[in-house]
Amino acid sequence: MNFKRITSLMLILVMAISMFAACGPDVAPEATTDANNTSAPDVTVESTDPAPDETTDAVTDEVTDAPDETTGEAVKYPTITIAEALALCEQFVESASSERYYIRGIVKEIQSETFGQMIIEDATGSIMVYGTYSEDGSIRYDAMTKKPVVGDEVLLHGTLQNYKGNTKEIQNGRLIELKQNGYVPETPKLPEFGKTLTIAEMLALPLSSNQVTEGRYYVEATVDSVTNAAYGAMYISDKTGTISVYNSKNADGTVDYAAMADKPVKGDTVKLYCTVQNFNGTFEIKSAYIVEFKHNTIDESAYTAMSIADARKAAEGAKIKVEGVVAKITYATGMVPSGVILVDATGSIYVYDGDLAASVSEGNKITVAAEKTWWILETEQANAQKFGYKGCNQLANAWILANDKAKNDFDKTWITTTTVKDILDTPVTEDISTVIYKVTALIKEVPGSGFTNYYINDLDGTTGTYSYSQCNGGDFEWLRAFDGKICTVYVMALNAKSTASDCFWRFLPIAVFDEGFDKTSVNPAEFAVKYHGIPQFTATTFTGDPAIELLATVSSDLLGFSGVKLSYTSDNTAVVSISEENGKLVLHCLGTGSANVTVTAEYNGKSYSDTVKFTVNASENIESITVKEAIDAALDSKVTVKGIVGPSLVNQSGFYLIDNTGIIAVLCDKAVFDGIEIGNEVVIEGKRFHKTKGGDTYFGQSAIDGGKVVANYYGSHDYCTDFFVTDKSVAEFYALDAKVDYSTTVFVLKATVEFTGGGYSSGVSLASGGDKITLYCSGAGQYEWLRQFEGQEVTLEVAACNWNSKTYWRGCVLAVRTADGKVVNELNFN
């Protein structure tokens, strides 16, 4: 915009301010949405939804005459060209301009007869109008008696925005002037079919929304990436621009991209014979025949050849050339190839590159040039750093230099034989990601609602995890043939899932062989000690007597043995002793010091032993406060609280801490649960916490955050219920004021347990007399322990909770009271 125009606009602004002072305050600016929003008007379907700007107060824009910048004569509307409007849009990405602009143009296309979404043009360009209204903004396009149609000349007064950085538009255009049939633009003609076009020329084709060219054009370009190898979807570019290809086939269209023996990949040049489509305003190549293509290579001298073992040790960003066999192809959502596991005689590594994965087959020996990277999901990086996880050891940005296209077995001579348990027990600080191991494991298929999990479990049948899938298990259907069988499995920890409370390995099975597992190859005595005897001691340092009830025998239906006897001896009975009490073996910590406890199993004349070292420290006199004092403590202050470990939280990592003064939620790392049990008397240290988004229509959740156990005095204490509220109904719970803190209150309610929904959306409710409250959870599976009471009216201890800033309270069930006692929520303790 030149100096004269700026001067004119400033003069208008001064005069407008003067009028504002004289006339009083204007109405508030409109709220706007956008054509790219999910609430946008549909260009083909009439909608009864409100328009992008459905104002109810009429607004009249006073217009002051301003001198024309060239003639000096007064003009009523200081218009800008569409080119100038498009340039101004660049400034307004986050939100629309606060200023309105006058823009004149010819209506080229009406995209919504309801909202008046249209395309207008002048000699300088074209722009979309997102919503058209009467001059005062009170009447929407569909209700206007005299509305613009294609060919009419309009003068609009509207705001400008470059929505999400990719759609420049006039928003909420008010119709100031209309010249009907003032000009009928000549209908642009498509270029002759069969011509070779640049991508820029394709993007400029005069196609209306969802129109496809009847004939085909040629285009020559470079493949930037293959986005879906099943359909041959890709992005291509030339020096004039970039366009997506929805679908591609061979030269005569008879062979799909996926079935082509040789096909273009990233970096290759292609000549396509194709149709072009305007898909809802976005131009794309709809159907492409790959007439010609040329495989392009890179400068190999920039890459250093090395073994996979050395590639694993290479620095981040190093350019590497490796050779290996494709042992497994991984898949992303939609079964789109996402990468490969590459193996040589020294090791294995993941190559993350969809283009590469789409152009190879398992068994191919390939030479790859790539960059060394360490991958962690962006949202998990802070948690990974917390636990010392460096990331997935992988290669990326890969190029295939050679491919023998044969079916080769991957080298297994270097692979270590271990157990599922040992892999899962490996600290995430140790770099085992993308390393293949050989294990003997039980394969188990577990169908879900809309997905299937395939578990790889150790020989105890429970220690293990399911295969990491991005396709709801569809990429592991090949494991179905091994369901329920103990097999030889080549498996890797592909990466680690990093949460606020834990960081754990996720499995990728590489190959499975059913070799007729011989159950007699397992030593029952050794198995009993390793998988049952030693794992009893999740903690070995104590400040009190944990009174651990010990296993006396071990049996395994899976392995076909029973009655393996376990015994325990202590080398310092003054510190740790094992006694028989009421027919049960119990370990007691009696005094300070250390003691070695030997666990021995015997079966059919064979025995096996292992030793655990215990340390018992003197009980410290730790200064602490009550739960009620913690509730009343200043927010963000450090609190040290003594109480009884109560039932589990749901959909949060933590538990309730209870004494005879109150109850409060404690948020903690998952590792904390390894050293505590419900009923233990503990001292917890953490930060007084209030979870809220700052709304004034709800309170939120009271809690202690970052809870750590600074002392555990153990025991199996019943938690106090004297302060639980017993005179409220489900209806009264439902009506609790969301602005009052009830998150430290437990209600004893009579209600019927109802499980609702299924598939990807399920939940649990408590109903009584037509009233109902929902339980806070991510799905009904978190309350599976309540399933035994489904459809029954029972008495429940229910804490009010509001972890996600609702305007109402939800429930967390602590326990169900029965005639025989209580069934307690142990979710996080399991």
Alpha-carbon distance values, 603 to 460, 529, 553, 567, 610 (Å):
17, 11, 10, 12, 15
Residue 716 is encoded by which pair of tokens? 């199996």
SS3 category, 45: coil
Using a 10 angstrom Cβ sphere, with 0-12 exposed, 13-18 middle and 19 or more buried, the burial of residue 265 is: buried
Does pLDDT of 42 surpass 60?
no
Mean pLDDT across the chain: 88
Is pLDDT above 50 for 590?
yes
| pLDDT above 90 (res 748) | yes
- Percentage above 90 pLDDT, the chain: 70
pLDDT at residue 759, as a whole number: 56
Gyration radius (Cα) of the chain, Å? 35
Q: By three-state DSSP, how is residue 611 classified?
A: strand
Of the chain, the percentage scoring pLDDT greater than 70 comes to 90
Q: Partners of 332 in the beta sheet?
A: 336
Task: Summarize pLDDT for 720-746 with one digit per residue, the tens.
Answer: 999 999 999 999 999 999 999 999 999
Q: Give the Cα separation of 156 and 712 in Å (integer).
A: 73
HEC assignment per residue over 53-77: CCCCCCCCCCCCCEECCCCCCEECC
Distance CA 811, CA 149 (A): 56
What backbone phi and psi angles, to 5 degrees, belong to 801?
-145, 155
Residue 69 in this model has a pLDDT that exceeds 50: no
User: Longest Cα pair distance anywhere in the chain, in angstroms?
Assistant: 113
Report the C-alpha gap between 163 and 778 in whole angstroms.
Answer: 34
Tokens standing for residue 351: 């190559």
Closest by Cα among 72, 174, 90, 179 to 132? 174
Average of pLDDT values for 1-13?
Answer: 41
29: buried, middle or exposed (CB in 10 Å: 19+, 13-18, 0-12)? middle
Amino acid symbol at 152 = D
Which stretch of 331-335, 338-342, 374-378 has the lowest confidence by average pLDDT? Answer: 331-335
pLDDT over threshold 90, residue 541: no
Copy the structure tokens of residue 722. Answer: 């004297």
DSSP H or E stretch at residue 502: none
Q: How does residue 186 score in pLDDT terms, banded at 50, 70 and 90?
A: low
Cα–Cα distance for residue pair 52/32, rounded to 1 Å:
6
Write down the pLDDT at residue 758: 63
- Say which amino acid occupies 802: N
How far apart (Å, rounded) are the C-alpha atoms in residues 664 and 656? Answer: 6
Give the sheet arrangement for strand 584-589, strand by strand: 548-550, 584-589, 576-581
Cα dist from 817 to 422, 628, 657, 733, 742, whole Å: 40, 25, 19, 18, 22
What was the pLDDT predicted at 539?
81
Q: Which of 144-148, 226-230, 791-795 has the lowest mean pLDDT?
A: 226-230
pLDDT bracket for residue 450 (50, 70, 90): confident
Identify the band that residue 618 occupies on the pLDDT scale cut at 50, 70 and 90: confident
Contact 86, 125 (CB under 8 A): yes
Identify the CA nearest to 776 among candidates 808, 742, 747.
808
The gap from C-alpha 399 to its chain's centroid, in whole angstroms, comes to: 29
**467-485 pLDDT per residue, tens:** 999 899 999 999 999 999 9
Residues with Cβ within 8 Å of residue 254, at least 6 apart in sequence: none
Tens digits of residue pLDDT in 772-822:
999 999 888 899 999 999 999 999 999 999 999 899 999 999 999 999 899
- What is the pLDDT at residue 669? 87
CA-nearest of 564, 566, 530 to 548 is: 566
